[in-house]
Amino acid sequence: MDILKISNNNKILWAGVLGVIILTLVAGCSGTYGSYRRDPGVQQSFESNRVPADYKYFYYGQDNEPIAVFGVEKKYEMNSYMWREVSADATEFRDLITWVWADYGYDIFGADILDPEGNKVGVLYTAVRETAIKFGPDNQITVMPSTPFLWGPVADSGGGVRSP
């Protein structure tokens, strides 16, 4: 039964190892994500086609029903192939804004995109309530809207699949 005994030195060692692991996880997850802050003025700027000219613009989804459109400072590079760049002064851009996806319970809104320090670095136009915005090295940005409505049938509480 002496095998099950852990010495005080080993307890301290394991506590230290656990502490390093927790700090690593916290440091790895914090500080690289930005956020967004809803702003009716941003929504109005998209809908009136008066978006800031000093941003690069991208859209996610189909041309005739994009899920989201966002603009970000030109220093950032998109870190995803899901987004397509579009010029804000093109007819295509105005059409995209007209056809942004919305559904019952999903109202379109505008928002400021904020970097991890809380500085405004862009704008967003969407009906998706949750969007992750990750800032990586070398000015890489990854924007991922949560799109559960695209996942298809959802599991019900009985473990089966519920049809839409």
pLDDT of residue 24: 43
pLDDT of residue 148: 62
Per-residue model confidence as pLDDT tens digits over 107-118: 999 999 999 999
| Residue that is written with structure tokens 């799109």 in the block | 147
pTM above 0.85, yes or no: no
pLDDT of residue 124: 96
pLDDT of residue 23: 45
Name residues of the chain where pLDDT drops below 70.
Answer: 1-31, 148-164
Closest CA to 143 of 162, 164, 161, 125: 125
